[in-house]
Amino acid sequence: MSLQNHLSISVPRTLRKAYAALEVQTPWLYGVQNRDFQIADLAPILATRAKVKPGYGQLKRALLRETDKISIRSLSGFARRRHHVPDHVSSSTRGFVESISKQEVDEHSDAVFNAIRENMNYKRLDLSYESGSIITPDFEYGVWCMQDDSDPEMALLCEELTNIKPSIVVDDRFNLVFKDRFSELVFEFPKSLSISNMIDAVEDSSRDDIQISYPKDIASCELKFKNSDVKVRIKGRELIVTARSACTPRDLIEAFFVSQQLLAGTPISSMLTS
């Protein structure tokens, strides 16, 4: 293997481990260039991009998420004779929940890792695996367990799929690995929205195909649409698209695209593409 080929394989692997977010690089060309000099053959890249549906570029600001609420008493590390269920939330109770939930975290991450190895044909060096975290060239998976701040006796088992490359969404193997694992897509706006202004704009539009609800503190709002199972919730900087039940990543992302069509003409629509 030439040095160039070696670097083209090893450098991306190192960068994926060193950086949590995608970094922008600016390549430079040194040396003499003549009329026969070929910088790169872009045909394979362009062919892959041609298969990507419009809108998939939004995935750089989106993640898939699933959260299961479980009793702290039911966690595998909870010893009924020695431990007590917390009645408050503090740094010590959070650490306690994390320590007694390691088996649950390992079971989830092991299952996903094995499914990736079985179905997606990654090389050993393309996979970085630690308890609760899996990094691949096309996506990152994480799972953790934490105490529920709003209900001290309960724990939240959280799974997320982040840094998803658009081209992997249409891959059947990828969708098989994560089938029925996620029911929420979270899109992050560049800045927090004014929930009250958005509610007023939707209500003033007099659209009878959108039903909007919100709590008295107007900290969030939820939108439902006539003749659609798609449900949208907005809180702070997050727009959360929820499917009726867990499904494949491709189906969940398609639901996100459908929600944008349903939101056309509202202030939310322009924020999704800005």
Give, in order, the Cα–Cα distances in Å from 219 to each of 198, 215, 233.
12, 7, 11
- Residue 52 burial (CB count, 10 A): 16
Q: Is 1 helix (H, G, I), strand (E, B) or coil?
A: coil
pLDDT score of 181: 94
pLDDT score of 90: 97
**Dihedral angle over CA of 45, 48, 50, 53, nearest 10:** -130
Tell me whether residue 50 is exposed, middle or buried, using C-beta atoms within 10 angstroms of its C-beta: 0 to 12, 13 to 18, 19 or more. Answer: exposed
pLDDT score of 3: 65
pLDDT score of 58: 82
CATH code reported for the domain at 180-274: 3.30.310
Ranges under pLDDT 50 in the chain? 49, 51-54
From the list 123, 215, 139, 212, the residue with the least C-alpha distance to 175 is 139
Beta bridge partners of 67: 158
Separation between Cα atoms, residue 100 and residue 104, nearest integer Å: 9
Contact call for residues 223 and 232 (beta carbons, < 8 A): yes
Domain ranges of the chain: 55-178, 180-274
pLDDT score of 24: 59
Give the residue ranges of DSSP H helices in 51-188.
91-100, 102-119, 172-177
- The model's pLDDT over 226-240, given as tens digits with 9 standing for 90+, comes to 888 889 999 989 999
Q: What is the pTM of this model?
A: 0.78
From the list 110, 245, 250, 105, the residue with the least C-alpha distance to 173 is 250
Separation between Cα atoms, residue 59 and residue 116, nearest integer Å: 21
Separation between Cα atoms, residue 109 and residue 143, nearest integer Å: 7
**Structure tokens that stand for 119 in this block:** 């179905």
